Structure formats: structure tokens, C-alpha cells
Amino acid sequence: MLHPSYAELIKVVNSEVEEGEDPVVNSRYSIVMATSKRARQIIAGDETLVDGKGRKALSVAVEELNEGKVRILTEQPEEEIEEVEELEEVEEIEEPEEEEVSSEEITE
């Protein structure tokens, strides 16, 4: 049996969610994806946020999540994404076309 259990991890992750809001995580899949991503970061050289000496990266990632040292970020609501896209749109400015000059016209 894993310690902490998936149910315990889900409670920890959702502990900061206010009543009436959607939970950050509601499935084991989300926990697995988050901890595996963090484990890959640790393997790639990121510093651990808990004592990880002699332990596997996944075990360290689970402990970090359980202690609240890392958080799972949710996707932005669609409205916010649309606002960001509107801000990123840049008007295209037409540059004046360069006049073609033939070699005959370059004589001095």
C-alpha cells in the first residue's frame, strides 16, 4: 500500500479550494501525472524540496506534494485565455514596398 494514499493526496491538493469552487484534482490520474512530471524534473537536476537522499525521484515527488511544497496548477478558464489572446494580437503594419531598381537605372 502506498503512503500517502491517493485519497489523502487528493485531500491535500484540494485543501486550499474554497467551498463552491471546482476541485483542483478529482482523480488519481491527475495525481499520477503531477507526481511523474515532478519526478522527471528532479531526475533532470531540479533541487528537491524535501530530503531526498537515497530515495527514488517519484517517492520524493509524492512527499513534496503531500507536504504542500509543490502545487498542481489548473488550466486557465476559457474567458481568461480569450483575453490573453486578444492582448497578444498585434496589428499588422504594412511596410512600404521597396521600389525595384534595374541595373540600367543605377548609372551615375
pLDDT digits (tens, 9 = 90+) for 58-93: 999 999 999 999 988 876 555 554 554 454 444 444
Which of 29, 28, 21, 26 shows the shortest CA–CA distance to 5?
28
> Which amino acid would we find at residue 60?
V
| Whole-number Å distance between alpha carbons of 17 and 13 | 8
Q: In the predicted model, what is the mean pLDDT of residues 22-41?
A: 91
pTM of the full predicted structure? 0.64
Residues 6+ apart with CB under 8 A from 84: 76
Question: For residues 13 and 22, is the Cβ–Cβ distance under 8 A?
Answer: no
